[in-house]
Each structure stands twice: as structure tokens, then as C-alpha cells.
Chain A
């Protein structure tokens, strides 16, 4: 739960490509081994870092605490829940004089 397949697949494919596929197509040369190691480690490190960040937020145990001002600005800027805007239009117009629903 909490996971969405699409970002997981996309990101895993991207970093697997860097760390798994690219090392196979590195042109032959004196530095091939080094380049392969570089690519593999880059893929592993970056994927792991993203994964941890993704998984850590997947099932949040706490929610962000927001200031009243932040709540109002967020509601306006991100248009997160139109419902609120209808309910508290008077507050919003007070808070942001130029605001038009």
C-alpha cells in the first residue's frame, strides 16, 4: 500500500539502465573496467537513495503541521481543495485582497 507502480517502474528502469545496461555497452578500451564500475555504482547509489526516500514517505505515520497562513496560501496556490475555497471565501478574500475565486 502507498506505493504506486508507475514511478517505481520508471525509476527502477532508469537506474537499472545506467547500472545494468550501460556497463555492457561500454566500448572496449583501457578504461572499460573503471567506466563499468562507475556506472554500476552510480546506478546502485542513486536508485537506493531514491528508493529510501520514496519508501519512507509511502506510509506516513505523521502528517505535516502547517501554519494557518501556510494552509491558506497552499489552498490558494496549489488549488488543492476547491471545497475549502467555497467554505472560506470570505477569509481568503480578507487574507489576499486580490483574490478572485
Chain B
């Protein structure tokens, strides 16, 4: 069933587009193979080209090829328009930055405006120009005003602070100066004040007289607070201690108008004597970027000035407020449209960028393009072109011509939101070759299933499925959020995989009868406790239940899954290992056989009879006769051998049951399997040895078959062809090349088939393939044992977690038990989620990925294609908005 079904979905290349019905049928199977592509030549009237390309961009189904690869980017036809778009984009980014600065919400209606007509570009440009200029002007004004405001504020602060200094100087008698001395006298900085103090000793009048006589000058200004210590030191050194500095901090931070940062500043006043010192002090102030302000000496002047400053600040405040209001209004108006504008400009730019890839024909009236298009969508493309022509008002319809090309077309898989995640898994290994079998549809189930074999636990699977279901149900609101969190985006992108992995884990967990390492007893175990005597119960601590049907075993197995009795058993691992190892091999071999059968569909599709005969047939024989036979032996062992009741059955009893692995190894090594005398034979069925010899020798014949048949046949064919007609062939190839060069344009004619490959290379290739396959069969089979290993590890880990953590909480008695359980449960639950679900889930995921990439896909998947990258506004806009958010 598994193997025959895909046949009905494969499509021959002959199925062409004769009617719409055929389209739809072919379209259904589109994910099974990549879409059929064709190279087309497109003739567009110059005036219609813009509108047509715009329509194609909306459609997103056409990949244009660069027809001027040797023309540099600055010499192309529409480079001017692209530049203008760049300029517009720059202006928009500036606007956006300003909008963000003001924290105005940008309206994102999610609407998708059509690319505007080329003539609208001028309007847009004018709009943006106007907006930008207005904004720049407003900003300049605002900055000037702010600078003015800052200066005034600083002046205000100076007047206020220096008032204190002067007041101290004036009102302070000796006491005040004493205090000042104690503060500053310790440093020699206070030298001038010491002089001053001596003056004050003469009394009030003396002070005035002395003050005037000494002609103490001063400057006042404002400086950044962090510069104060260096400033002070510099002053002290440069003036040799002959100046007196007083400073006070301005408590409120001031706004720096150029950067908009809040900075802390201090007011200082420096007293000095003489002009020499004055120039020196001024120079130092300049050097430290301190701003100096005039400060009148007389208190009355100062008061007057302060009054003036206050009124000017108030005036400035109103003007500033109005400026800000204006700026805000402009920005709010722009914010409504900015997303829309961005979309428009990016679309125009993308269109011109695409037009730059086109060729001008001789008459200059027509643009020629070459593009890859999916054959099925040709009609859609024609429609889009017609729409474009109508929109532009051109009378001449565009012409779409199919072309022949020796090149491999790009690979294009139609995916939807469900299948795209699985396709991504496949694509990250390698893009499928053109029209090769796509593993993605099968991966949708085999991936979660193999994952679940390793992750099998009803409880953990349930958690995972719930998480997946939550993401799937809330798909739209979650997708609209557009989170930047990379990990979340990975989870969200794989939501359907997670959901399916969870569901399958629930199923396998149910079959393993494992729920957080405990079992469910739904159907009653098939083991009973019977025949245990009183003495036994007292003397023995461990009881092995007798597997014989008339003893502890009821005779029929537990209907669904693992018997709950095994979960309680101390020898659980022995039993489960044998079971899990066997199913790993069984599933693995079926998976690989499936892969080999897929290669048959590839060969059939590509009409590669040679490969079917020389590769597929020996491969499948090799795998079936050796490995599928081993699977058969496992089933025979399960069916035939049982715990014997009487000695008559000892041949089929526990004692005589042969090991499958030993049997298989001996089959390959051609050795007899040893057996106990009372078992009479090591055979599981009559004629086993003979059959094994036969199978083994046929399988061995397959090795040289795979190795030599293909190259030898190719060699013979070439000799025949060579003898046939040299001249005829030469002529044919000459004309072919000529045609190809004409139609293929500048692409050149590379990519000859492997007919031209030298024979030696074919031999080497085939040898590598054969060795890879034969050795791979062994190593890949063993590789599937990871299913067993991970599943064992997962079950054991969850059991350890239960026994070491949660069961401790369950054993505390009385009311403290409740509290203990509460805490311990939280601990257990967080460990369960973080380690068992997240980490184990990740590890099982990676192992499953490997099983698919290596073990499964190596059987048929070339993965040598390249991705179809259509010209699509959707993709361009998405990537543009993403790259914008990154920095």
C-alpha cells in the first residue's frame, strides 16, 4: 500500500495543457514533484512594460533573468528612476525616524496599494520633498529656539547662583568669611580670598575701598558637570593659584539642543585680578567649552537682567510650544500614510529594478525579457499581462513565447501554510533537482511518527500537542504580532510539525503505556499472580511470573500496547529493549525500502531504464534479501517461540529461541549457528540454511551488478553510437548548438548531459555509489537503532524524575505533605517541561531530521536543484520590512 500509492500521483512530462481540467489534476499533485517550468521570452511595448511588470509583481509567479549581465549597474536604462526611488526611500526613512522619535503610532492598515503609475512618481516625490523640507525647517527652528532657550536658562541659573555668592560676599561679615575660609582656606586656591579677608579685617568700608583698590574681576559661566574637576585643576595650575573659583550645581538637567540628550551642568564664577589672568581664564574656559555669560556687578542690574531673562524665557516657551505643535501635526499627518508610501515606493523601485534586467530591441519600442514561469500558471500570467496592457492603455498586446533551453529550470513547490514547514525541512538539506520526487509529502507523517517513537510518552506528547494546538488555533493573532524573538519564530514556524509530533507522541506513548513514566491499566493485565506459596512470600523478595500459558500468563496479550505489568517489573528494561530494538529495525528497514522505491519513481519519470535495471533492481534485491529477511525472522520468532509448557515443545521454548542478530551475522559470515543438543536445531523453520545461502548469494551478486553493469552498458552504447555515423551526429550537434545559442541569448550552452562524461569518471562514480549503498545498508540499519536508544533514554529519564522528585513529595505524611507536594510538584513540573519536553524533544527532533536526511533521502534524493525565486512584491516588501527592523 505504501509503495504503490505514490504512482498515481506521479505525472508524466507528456501531460500538457490541453484543457483546464488537466491543469487542475496536475496541480493537485504539485507537491509530489516540483512544478513544471518553462523559459519564456516576453516582448513588452515600452509604454506598457511598467504596468505589465507591476501586474506580474502582484502575481509573483515569474522569475526574470538578467539579460545584461555584463552591463554595470550604473549604465542600465532605468538607473535614474531607481535612484529617484532610493532618494524617496531615504526621505521616507527620515520621516519615519522623526515619527518614531516623537512616539507617534504609525497606522498599519495592512492594505496593499498597487504600484502607482510612473507619472504619479513626480507627485510622490513632490510630497516627500515638501514634507522633508518642512520638517527640516521646523527642526532647524526648533533647534535654534532650543539653543536660545538653553542659553537663557543658563543665564537665569547664573544670575540666581551668583546672587548667592555675591550675597555671601556682601552680607557676610567676618563670620561668613571665616566659614568660607574653613571651606576653602585649606587649599591654596583661596589665596585671593585671603587677601580679601585681610581687607575685610579693616571693616566694611575697608572692604569696599580695598575691593575697589584691588579691582577684582570675575567671569561667570556654565560648564558640564563632569568637567569641573579637570577645569579646576587646570585653572589652578595655569594661574598658579591666583584665581578663586566658586561653583554650584544646576539641579535640573538641561537639554542639549543638538543631540537632544539631557545633560547636567554647573554654574561657576571665577574671581581674579588683572587683565593677564583674565585672558588666561577666558582661554581656559574656551578650552573646556564652558559658556561665559555677562553678569553685571551691581545687584540692581542683576535683578533687572534676571527679570528680562524671565520674560524672554516665557516668550520663548510659547514659541517653542507652537513650533512643537506644528511639527507634531506634520508628523501625525505623515504617520497616517507612511506605510502606504513605503509600499508604493518599494514597488516602483522593484519594477524599475526588474525593467533594468530587460533588453531593448533594435527599434527601441519594445522591451525583451526572459523569465522562468510555471507551465500551469501560464494562463494567469497571460491574464496579468493583459490587465497590465489595458491599464497602460497600450494597443499592442504583449507576446509571451515559450523557449527551449538546455538549462535546468528552477525548482518550485506549491506549498501552503501546513506543508511549507515540512518543505523547509527538506529544503534545508538541499533544494530538490528539477521535477525530482519531493520527499516533503511523506515527511509530513513519517517525521512526526519517527520522532514519536523516540519521544513516546502520553503525558509529554500531550503537553507538546497542546502547545502546538494553541499556536495553530491562535495562528492569526500570533502571526500578526510579528515577534523579533528568533526562538519563538522557529517554534511558530513549525507549529504544525509540533502539533503532529505531539499527537503522534501521544499515540506511541499510549502504545508504550507510558504516561510520565506510569502505566494505565485500561484492559486488565494479561498476567496474574498465582501459585505463590506462603513460604515463598516470606522467603523471596522478587517473584518472576512464569510466562507459561497455564501459569501466570493468561494466554493472550494486552490488547493495545504494553502490558501495565511490565511497568512494575524489575526486568522491564530487558523486555522493552528487545521489543524496542526490534521495532527500530523493522521501521528503519521499511523506511529505507520506501526510499528505494521512491528512486524507482524518479527513474520511471526521467525514463531512465538503464538506472532501473542497473541500480534500482539490485538495490531493492540487496535490501530485501538481507535486511527484510531479518525483519521476517523477527516476526517468525514472535509468532513461533513461546514459553513451553512441556518438554515436547522445547524446540520452540524459551531455551531454544535463537538470537536474531547471531543468526543474521552467521548468515552473512556463512557459519553454522551453535545450538544446545536438546534443541536439535538452530533453524527457525525447515530449510532455513538453504534459503539463507540462496538469499545471501543473490544479494552478493547484486554488488558487482550495481558496480559494473551501468558503466559497461554505457561503454557499449557509446561504441555503437560511434560506429553509427560520425558525420551525421556532428551535423546534428552543430545545428543544435546554433539554435541553442540563438534562443538562449547570452546564457551560453553549458550543461551537457552525462553522455559527454569520460568513462573513467562514470566507473568511479558508480563505484562510489555502490560502496555507499552497500555499506550504507548496514550502517543505516544500525543507525535506526537510535530510535530504541532515545526512546529508552526518554523513558528512563522520566522514571528517574518521578522516583527522585515527585514520589518524594507523595511520601510526606500529614499536612506538611500538602506543602511539600506543592513545592515538589512545581519543581517536577518545571523539570518535566524544560528537560523532558524541551531538551529531549529537541534531541529527538534532530535525530529524526538526520534519519530523514541521511537514511531516507540518500536512497533517492539528488537535491541538486536551485530555488525558484519569483519577482513578487510580497516577498520584496516582507524582506524590506524585516531588514529595516533588524538594525
Hey, what's the 0/1 contact readout for A79-94 against B, CB within 8 Å counting as 1? 0110110011001000
- Chain B residues contacting A46 (CB-CB under 8 Å) are 449, 507
Instruction: Mark interface residues in B493-522 (1 if CB within 8 Å of A CB, else 0).
Output: 000000000000001100110000000010
* Interface status of A13 (Cβ within 8 A of chain B): no
- Asked whether B490 is an interface residue with its Cβ less than 8 Å from the other chain, the reply is no
B-chain residues with CB within 8 Å of residue A4 when the two chains form the complex: 556-557, 559
Alpha-carbon separation in the docked complex, A62 to B575 (Å):
8
Residue from A6, A36, A63 having most chain B Cβ neighbours under 10 A: A63
Residues of B within 8 A of A42 (CB): 445
Mark contacts of A30-51 with chain B using CB atoms, 8 A cut-off: 1 yes-contact digit, 0 otherwise: 1111101110111011101110
Contact assessment for B570 and A40 in the assembled complex, using a CB-CB cutoff below 8 Å: no
| A20 nearest in chain B by CB position | B1
Contact A68 B1 (CB under 8 A): no
Contact B532 A63 (CB under 8 A): no
Q: Are A2 and B555 in contact (CB under 8 A)?
A: yes
Q: Which of A52, A57, A71, A88 contacts B583 (CB 8 A)?
A: A52
Per the CB 8 Å criterion, the residue count for chain B at the interface is 81
CA A7 to CA B524, docked complex, whole Å: 14
B727 close to A (CB within 8 Å): no
The chain A residue with its CB closest to the CB of B415 is A34
Residue of B nearest to A8 (CB): B559
B553 touches A52 (CB 8 A): no
Contacts of A75 in B (CB 8 A): 529
Bound: A5/B537 CA distance, A: 36
Interface flags, B622-643, vs A, CB<8A=1, else 0: 0000000000000100111111
Q: For chain A residues 47-81, which have a beta carbon within 8 Å of chain B?
A: 48-50, 52-68, 70-71, 74-75, 78, 80-81
B523-543 interface with A by 8 A CB criterion? 524-530, 532, 534, 537, 540-543
- Alpha-carbon distance A22/B586, docked complex (angstroms): 26
Residue of B nearest to A45 (CB): B449
Q: Provided the pairs A32-B28, A44-B1 are in contact, do residues A61 and B590 lie with their beta carbons within 8 angstroms?
A: no
Interface pair A57/B526, CB less than 8 Å apart? yes
- Select which of A2, A3, A44, A61 is within 8 A of B657 by beta carbon: A61
Report B574-593 CB contacts with A as 1/0, cut-off 8 Å. Answer: 11001100110011001000
Asked if B582 and A60 make an inter-chain contact with CB atoms under 8 angstroms apart, the answer reads: no
- Asked if B386 lies at the interface with its beta carbon under 8 angstroms from chain A, I say no
B575:A41 contact, CB within 8 angstroms: no
Q: Are B529 and A37 in contact (CB under 8 A)?
A: no
Give B860 Cβ to nearest chain A Cβ, in Å.
16
Complex interface: chain B residues within 8 A of A38 (CB): 441, 444-445
Check A68/B540 contact, CB under 8 A, given A2-B556, A33-B28, A40-B1: yes
Question: What separation, in Å, do the CA atoms of A83 and B532 have in the docked complex?
Answer: 10
- Taking a contact as CB atoms under 8 Å apart, the answer to whether B442 and A60 are in contact is no
Q: Does the CB pair A68–B542 fall under 8 Å?
A: yes
Task: State whether B557 touches A57 (Cβ < 8 A).
Answer: yes
Bound-state CA distance A54–B530 (Å) is 23
Query: CA separation between A74 and B529, bound complex, in Å?
Result: 8
Residues of chain B contacted by A83 (CB below 8 angstroms): 530
On whether the beta carbons of A56 and B590 are closer than 8 Å, the reply is no
Annotate B655-690 by CB proximity to A: 1 below 8 A, 0 otherwise: 001000000000000000000000000000000000
Interface residue? B566 (CB, 8 A): yes
**Residues in A neighbouring B525, C-beta threshold 8 A:** 78, 80
> A67–B532 contact, CB under 8 A?
no
Partner of B579, one of A53, A65, A67: A53
User: Chain B's nearest CB lies how many Å from the CB of A8?
Assistant: 9
A20-B1, A37-B444 known; A81 vs B563 contact (CB < 8 Å): no
Contact yes or no, A66 B545, CB < 8 A: yes
Q: In the complex, which of the residues B419, B521, B559 contacts A78, with contact meaning CB atoms closer than 8 Å?
A: B521
CB distance from B527 to the nearest CB of A (A): 6
Which residues of the other chain, A, contact B508 by a CB distance below 8 angstroms?
A: 49
Question: For A6, A30, A37, A74, which residue has the most chain B Cβ atoms within 10 angstroms?
Answer: A37
Measured CB to CB, the nearest residue on chain B to A73 is: B568
B29 interface residue per 8 A CB criterion: yes
Of A2, A20, A70, which contacts B557 at CB under 8 A?
Answer: A2
Closest chain B CB from A81 CB (angstroms): 5
Tell me if B94 is interfacial: C-beta within 8 Å of chain A: no
A25: CB under 8 A from chain B? Answer: no
Segment of B2-10, B290-298, B807-815 engaged in the interface with chain A: B2-10
Asked if B642 and A61 sit within 8 Å, CB to CB, the answer is yes
A37 to B441, CA, bound (A): 7
- In the complex, are the beta carbons of A64 and B638 less than 8 A apart? no
Contact between B541 and A62 (Cβ–Cβ < 8 Å)? no
Are the CB atoms of A88 and B587 closer together than 8 Å? no
State whether A33 touches B9 (Cβ < 8 A): yes
- Nearest-neighbour CB distance to chain A for B270, whole angstroms, equals 84
CA–CA, A83 and B444, complex, Å: 52
Say yes or no: A45-B638 contact (C-beta < 8 A), given A20-B1, A57-B557, A63-B544.
no
Contact B537 A64 (CB under 8 A): no
Q: How far is the CA of A11 from the CA of B558 in the complex (A)?
A: 13
Whether A59 touches B643, Cβ cut-off 8 Å, given contacts A33-B9, A68-B543, is yes
Q: State whether the Cβ of B277 lies closer than 8 Å to any Cβ in chain A.
A: no
Q: Which of B560, B575, B635 contacts A64 (CB 8 A)?
A: B575
- A-chain residues with CB within 8 Å of residue B507 when the two chains form the complex: 46, 49
Closest to A7 in B: B559
25 A/B residue pairs, CB under 8 Å, sorted by A: A1-B642, A30-B27, A33-B9, A33-B28, A37-B9, A38-B441, A38-B445, A41-B445, A41-B449, A45-B449, A49-B511, A50-B561, A52-B582, A55-B638, A59-B641, A63-B527, A63-B544, A63-B546, A65-B569, A66-B545, A66-B570, A68-B537, A75-B529, A88-B537, A91-B537
Q: List residues of chain A with CB under 8 Å of any chain B CB.
A: 1-4, 6-7, 11, 19-20, 29-34, 36-38, 40-42, 44-46, 48-50, 52-68, 70-71, 74-75, 78, 80-81, 83-84, 87-88, 91
Closest 3 CB pairs of A and B: A64-B569, A59-B642, A63-B545
Apart from the given pairs A55-B639, A64-B566, A80-B525, 9 other A-B contacts in the complex at a CB distance below 8 Å:
A4-B557, A31-B28, A38-B441, A49-B508, A60-B547, A60-B557, A62-B654, A65-B542, A66-B542
